[in-house]
DNA sequence: AAATTAATTAACTGACCTGTTAGTTAATAT
DNA sequence: ATATTAACTAACAGGTCAGTTAATTAATTT
């Protein structure tokens, strides 16, 4: 929709659209397999183009992978979480909103977490370094950490370690999605990924974490 | 030490030892890459034998993978957690011990979690199904869930959903290790995987979760 | 409408990777 | 000591995969 496209989508050839389609297919492939086990042939097949197209738009599989990483982090993650907005709220309100947004993001962008995890496990974060070291990322996580620091300072949260707590909250939010495919064998019956159970998961995490950080002596 | 070995270890050829060495190397390789991206050649090299040895002891890469899965789950995980023992304790004590054991297991068997995660993401739990459906696994997780149910029934835990809470606790315990390689770029300085910080992580999770599940109305 | 440029494909190359085979060396039994 | 079995290796076969090349078709410009 950015370029000149009279009727859009009706074009047979559309560089922008093809590039995006490749990124979309690559995102799905990398989410399932990570950089190493992902197959360019498979990405091309999912896109509906020839493998050569990948190398027309991207230098290499590695280059495509980095493009996917950057797009999903800056495009999807940061936009969904909106850390800046949380600064206006009280620590409790901000924390609850953060949790709800985090889980909603996991649910609506199911590739985000798998890609990050594969990157950590397979490549030790090598390709993620420049993303997470960027000013935008540092600032965003600074804001998140400061929500907890503010809570402690204001006395509504108990004395806790902000960075550890941020990680533990992320763990509680994410594990449900990460481990779903294994967990389904443990507690059968329940359809673990239905909107209803995700809503229940959200409420459980909110209750657990807010009770977990609240200062009992205060009030 | 099981077979007849006068001076043990001094043998040049030792089937049992070689098989175990292959399993060890495979465990490390699968933990980093998962089934699909793991290379048999690499496993052989790590073991210090020829690739053909893998096929002497195991039918296929898949077969070796399943052997690794079973060994690490039944051998390492179940032995470390000892769910049966937790049944004797009060819900609070049991829950704290469970958390401490879970994290200690993650720390001392760093391959366990990565393998499980890769299995979920890459293979949708296909090769884990028979493991988690087994009586031993079902019973163990039943015990864990029942700790929470007991706590709710006895009134020391607030009204919570046991299965969701088990997952959220596991998430808080595991995420620290899973995401470490990415997280190190966010909060530099601190050596995130030193014994000291792992101890701190443990205490933070214990504090967070116990406060999070405790019933405030009850005393 | 013809010429030019951009998007796309088919077919290929060379490296790599799983699994095999046939032969070799060490341990064990006779 | 010799024969037999068990553990192990070197070398290879066949398939797969990342990346390339040369030709083709669609869009754009003149």
Digitized pLDDT (tens) for each residue of chain B, 219 residues in all: 333 333 334 578 999 999 999 999 999 999 999 999 999 999 999 999 999 999 999 999 999 999 999 999 999 999 999 999 999 999 999 999 999 999 999 999 999 999 999 999 999 999 999 999 999 999 999 999 999 999 999 999 999 999 999 999 999 999 999 999 999 999 877 777 999 999 999 999 999 999 999 998 875
Q: Residue B107: inside a domain, yes or no? A: yes
Q: Residue A135: inside a domain, yes or no? A: yes
User: CB pairs below 8 Å between A and B: how many?
Assistant: 194
Q: Residue B25: inside a domain, yes or no? A: no
Are B116 and A178 a contacting pair, CB within 8 Å? no
Q: How far is the CA of A75 from the C1' of D26 (A)?
A: 32
Question: How many residues are present in chain B?
Answer: 219
Are B165 and A208 a contacting pair, CB within 8 Å? yes
CA-to-CA distance for A28 and A39, rounded, in angstroms? 11
Asked if B173's CB is within 8 angstroms of A138's CB, the reply is no
Q: Residue A42: inside a domain, yes or no? A: no
Nucleotides of D under 7 A from a protein CB: 6-11, 16-22, 26-28
Interface subset of B 159-178, CB within 8 angstroms of A: 160-161, 163-165, 167-176, 178
B104 Cα to chain A: minimum distance (Å): 16
Residues of A in Cβ contact (< 8 Å) with B173: 171
- Which residue of chain B has the CA closest to A215? B211
Domain range for residue B83? 66-213
Number of domains making up chain B? 1
Q: Residue A20: inside a domain, yes or no? A: no
Predicted local confidence at residue A190, as pLDDT: 73
Question: How many residues are present in chain A?
Answer: 219
Nucleic strand D near CB of residue B90 (< 7 Å) = no
A67: Cα within 13 Å, side-chain hemisphere: 17
B77 Cα to chain A: minimum distance (Å): 15
What A75-78 contacts at long range (C-beta under 8 Å, 24+ apart), as own/partner pairs, is A76/A105, A76/A109, A76/A112, A77/A105, A77/A109, A77/A112, A78/A136, A78/A137, A78/A140
Q: Which of B127, B187, B189 to mutate to test the interface with A (most CBs of A within 10 A)?
A: B187
Alpha helices for chain A (secondary structure H): 15-37, 40-47, 51-57, 61-70, 78-81, 83-86, 91-108, 112-123, 129-132, 135-154, 162-178, 180-183, 195-213
What tens digit of pLDDT does each residue of A65-75 get?
999 999 999 99
Q: Residue A127: inside a domain, yes or no? A: yes
Predicted local confidence at residue B3, as pLDDT: 35
Helix, coil or strand: residue A59: coil
Q: Residue A218: inside a domain, yes or no? A: no
Please check whether residue A158 touches B, CB under 8 A.
yes
Beta bridge partners of A214: A157
Start-to-end CA distance of chain A, whole Å, equals 53
Q: How far is the CA of A50 from the C1' of C11 (A)?
A: 12
**A93 CB contacts (<8 Å, ≥6 apart)?**
none
What tens digit of pLDDT does each residue of A104-150 get?
999 999 999 999 999 999 999 999 999 999 999 999 999 999 999 99
Which CATH number belongs to the domain containing residue B140 in this structure? 1.10.357.10
Burial class (CB in 10 A: 0-12, 13-18, 19+), A72: buried
Beta bridge partners of B157: B214
Rounded mean pLDDT, A2-28: 76
Q: Which of A31, A110, A197, A208 to mutate to test the interface with B (most CBs of B within 10 A)?
A: A208
Q: Which of A119, A123, A175 sits opposite B170 (nearest CB)?
A: A175
Q: How far is the CA of A64 from the C1' of D20 (A)?
A: 17
The vertex-B99 CA angle with A103 and B27, nearest 5°, equals 85
Q: Residue A45: inside a domain, yes or no? A: no
């Amino acid at each position: 929709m950015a370029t000149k496209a009279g009727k859009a989508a009706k074009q047979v050839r559309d560089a922008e659209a093809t590039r995006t389609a490749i990124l979309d297919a690559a995102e799905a492939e990398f989410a399932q397999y990570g950089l190493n086990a992902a197959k360019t042939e498979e990405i091309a097949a999912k896109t509906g183009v020839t493998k050569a197209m990948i190398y027309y738009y991207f230098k290499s599989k590695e280059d495509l992978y980095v493009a996917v990483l950057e797009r999903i982090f800056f495009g999807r993650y940061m936009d969904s979480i909106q850390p800046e907005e949380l600064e206006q709220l009280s620590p409790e309100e901000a924390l609850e909103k953060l949790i709800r947004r985090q889980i909603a993001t996991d649910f609506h962008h199911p590739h985000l977490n798998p890609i990050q995890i594969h990157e950590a496990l397979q490549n030790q974060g090598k390709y993620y370094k420049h993303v997470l070291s960027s000013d935008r990322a540092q600032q965003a996580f600074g804001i998140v950490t400061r929500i907890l620091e503010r809570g402690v300072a204001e006395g509504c949260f108990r004395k806790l370690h902000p960075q550890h707590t941020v990680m533990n909250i992320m763990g509680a939010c994410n594990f449900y999605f990460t481990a779903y495919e294994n967990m389904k064998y443990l507690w059968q019956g329940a359809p673990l990924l239905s909107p209803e159970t995700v809503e229940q998961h959200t409420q459980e995490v909110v209750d657990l974490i807010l009770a977990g950080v609240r200062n009992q002596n205060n009030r």
